[in-house]
Structures are given as C-alpha cells and as structure tokens.
Amino acid sequence: MAMPSLPLAPPFRLRARVLTPLAAGGTRYFADGAVHVDPHGRISRVADWAEASEPEASEPEVDAMTRIRDYDVRPWLVLPGLVDLHTHIPQLPNAGVGAGLDLLTWLEQYTFPLERRFDAAAAERLGPLAMRAFSAAGTTTVAAYASADPDATEVLLQSAEAHGIRAVIGLVLMGRTVGDEHGGAASPDEDAGLRASAELAARWHGRDEGRLRYAFTPRFALSCSGQVLRASARLAAETGSYWQTHLSEDPRELDEVRRAFPEARDYLDVYDRAGALGPGGPSALFAHAIHLSDREIERLAESGAGVAHCPASNLFLPSGIMPLARYLEAGIPVGLGSDISGGPGPSIFEVMRVGAYAQHALQIVGGDPRPVLDPLGWLRLGTLGGAAALGLADTIGSLEPGREADMIAIDASLTEPLPGAGSADEPAEIVSRLIFRTHPQMVRGAWVRGRLLPA
C-alpha cells in the first residue's frame, strides 16, 4: 500500500481512525474520524468525518486565503502523542546493557563514566539522533536529564528546539557520592552547578511559547548536599521551572539514604525538608518511587507532586515493582518513563507492556487484590497521566478541541499476528496490540502543535 502523505504544518484536517482518552474520563473512538488543526496548531474539532465536513459555528474562522488541506491517512490510527516523563539522554549509548546489577553498582560501573564523557561535542552528535528516536517511538513530550556539563545541557536544549519535540530538560546536579557527608554546605562544584542551572532556566524555561521548559535536576539524595537540594527547590519555585529527581528506587540506595540523612523520617522527607514538596514548593517530578511507606504515599498525594513510573527500568535493574494501583487510588499523578538506560529503549508502548506484566506479578505473587489497568488505562497513563504530572493536562495528552495538536499516526496493521490476518477493530483490542505486540516501525508520524517532527 502506498504511504499516505502527511501534513507538515497547520492548518489541516486529518481523516483517520481516531482514538483518544478524554480528560473527563473514558475514551472516544471514531472508526472514520476527523481531527481539525487550526493555523496555531490547536485542535479545533474531533468528530466523525461525515459530521465534521459540515462547518461548525464554534470553529474559529480561518482566513479565506488559507487553503485547508485534507489528509486521508486511513486505515492508520491517530492517537495523542505519548509523554515520556523520565529519561536520561546521555545514557542512550548504554541502552540494553547492564541488566541485573543493583542501582549503585550500575551507576558506578556504567552510568557515571559514560556521563562524565558527555560534553558539548558528544551532545552535538547525540542530541539530534535522540530527539528523532523519541518521536519515532511516538513520544511527543519528553522530560529528560542531561549530564552535569552545562554546555552539553545547552546543546540538548538546542537539539529539542530545532527538532520540534516538546521537552523538559535539566542539568544534572551532583557533587556528593555514596559514603560522603551530606549535611554540610554546597561544594564548589555544586555551587557552579546551581549557578549554571539558574542561567539555563532563565534562557530556556518557557521558550517557544512553553514548548521547552527547564527542570532543576538534583540527581538524587545521595548525589547532593542538603544545601543543593534546598537551593535548587527554591530556584525552581521562584522561576516556575520543574524540579526533578529520583526517589526510593533500590533497597541498598534506601539504606544509604538513611545513613546519609539521619535527621529525615524517610526518603521522601529528605526532599520535603529541602522544600521540594510545598506549600510554596516547585512542580516536582519523582522517578521510580517504588518502596514508599504509607506516610510517604499520603504526603506525596497531598503535595500534588508527580511520579514517573518506569517499570521497564525497575525490572532491568532489579529495583522492585511500584504499587501503581495504590498510588492511583491515593490520587498521585502518575505518568510513564522510559528511564534510558535503566530501561532499554524509548518506546513508551514497551514500558506499558512491562508495566502490565509487573502489575500482574504484583497481583499473583504479591497478593495485591487491586485490578490491573486495561490497555486503554495504560494508554491514558502514557498520555494524559504524564501531561497531568507536568501540570499540562489542559494543554496536551488527549485529542480534544482547544488542546495543542500533539499527536501520532500509527499503522496498527503491523501488530497483526500474521500479515493481513486477525485485524483488531475494537479500540481496546487495537491498543492491546500496540502494547503487547509493539512493532518498531508502527509509529508513522508524530506532530507537536500540528508540526510534523523529523523521525
């Protein structure tokens, strides 16, 4: 079959199978649907194609000189773009190696040496490839860690700007290590990192009408002095930037955190004491959050901070299984993260698959009676869930009028069990195959604000 041509920039009208979670709950599916994207890259209409050919009073007038083109991509499926809520761009070259090591050993053996080499020249090489790898996997929003090199971080932000992806990126703050004293003042390295972070935030946070955002990024408690945690949380809150870190990932890490921060009640309290959880704190994102106590779960829910659930990483490094259903019940905003190179690749569909397997294991082996998400529930987590954790639930994450047109086109026929056999027509079955029979080439197009991303 000839490849349908894809719109490069708004405005346009897309005819496709259209599937989207709805912000108010539930899912909508149009077997022959239309998505109208206005000249500003906003969705103006989502409806059955036949119905959408009739003009609607509420649709904004389009300049009569602007010819709106129709693009028919059927039988491809159009979904909201995926949100990768946690990943490490400099770690891409290590993706898929290091399985089975505990976190602290893996960091020392694989990750820190790789990141130490990640300077501006390395970022120039990897940045554009990384952005294309994300969009080729269906990710239209990525929240990422750079390295501890400010120039490399600047280059990665430039790569995201040029590529067109929606991105949150931060310079990694790290000046302490396992076994160090953490109570004292910031080291000269840490001070330099804070200053560079403040400059990067001033230059990048909110760039291109909010497409690019900055995240103050203290790597995790064991990498930081209490002072750096406090100063970064304060700066993030003052500038409206995000504040991202790792939380409660690995049992040995937890032991070390208890030793390094004896005054804290638990791991989350290390960050709470630094002012990262409000009131008055920054928009915080915590990766992993696997081994939380009841108190930590309650405090996290009350704070409104988001959790990046990274199941593909959590079973590659044997970290544990996050009790997802419990967090959702508690009202914690949860999205999905690829966590390269703890996780083996950028596909959030693969993260959903491993997540589902892990939750089944928790049910069977761990005796958790709560139901596991169904495929449409996983899709919601990978789109609206991530958007909500970023405070962007009104802007992206679903295909609904008024939102920015961040979306992907998928050739679902590639997920059929045999070529041409066993097509799925029900939305839950279509998405089930995208998750459990993911095909590396199934994402055929990705748009941010109606602009086609290079893949």
Question: Side by side, which strands form the sheet with 69-80?
Answer: 43-48, 27-37, 12-21, 69-80, 407-410, 443-448, 451-452
Question: Which positions from 268 through 327 interact with Zn ion, judged by CB under 5 A?
Answer: 287
Query: Which position's Cβ is nearest ligand GUN?
Result: 342
Q: Kindly state whether residue 84 participates in binding Zn ion, applying the rule CB under 5 A.
A: no
DSSP structure string for 347-416:
-HHHHHHHHHHHHHHHHHTS---SPPPPHHHHHHIIIIIHHHHTT-TTTSSS--TTSB--EEEE-GGGGS
Residue closer to ligand GUN by CB (options 178, 455) is 178
Residue in this structure with the two tokens 């208890």, named with its chain if needed: 258
* Residue 205 touches which member of ligand GUN, Zn ion, none, C-beta under 5-8 Å by kind: none
Angle at 336 between CA 393 and CA 129, to 5 degrees: 100
Distance between CA atoms of residues 198 and 94, nearest Å: 29
**DSSP annotation of 159:** H
DSSP structure string for 53-70:
TS--TTSPP--TTSPPEE
Residue closer to ligand GUN by CB (options 15, 246) is 246
Beta bridge partners of 452: 447
In whole angstroms, the minimum distance from the beta carbon of 228 to ligand GUN comes to 14
Pick the binder of Zn ion from 339, 404, 406, 411 (CB under 5 A): 339
Distance between CA atoms of residues 449 and 41, nearest Å: 4
Size of the site for Zn ion (CB under 5 A): 2
Residue closer to ligand GUN by CB (options 45, 246) is 246
* Residue 111 touches which member of ligand GUN, Zn ion, none, C-beta under 5-8 Å by kind: ligand GUN
In whole angstroms, the minimum distance from the beta carbon of 306 to Zn ion comes to 14
Give the binding range for Zn ion (CB under 5 A) out of 8-16, 26-34, 157-165, 338-346.
Answer: 338-346
Site string (112-151) toward Zn ion, x via CB under 5 A: ----------------------------------------
Summarize as ranges the residues that interact with ligand GUN (CB under 6 A).
88, 103, 107, 111, 219-220, 246, 249, 313, 339, 342
**DSSP annotation of 343:** B
In whole angstroms, the minimum distance from the beta carbon of 406 to ligand GUN comes to 26
In whole angstroms, the minimum distance from the beta carbon of 222 to Zn ion comes to 13
Distance between CA atoms of residues 236 and 334, nearest Å: 21
Which spans of this chain sit near Zn ion (rule: CB under 5 A)? Answer: 287, 339
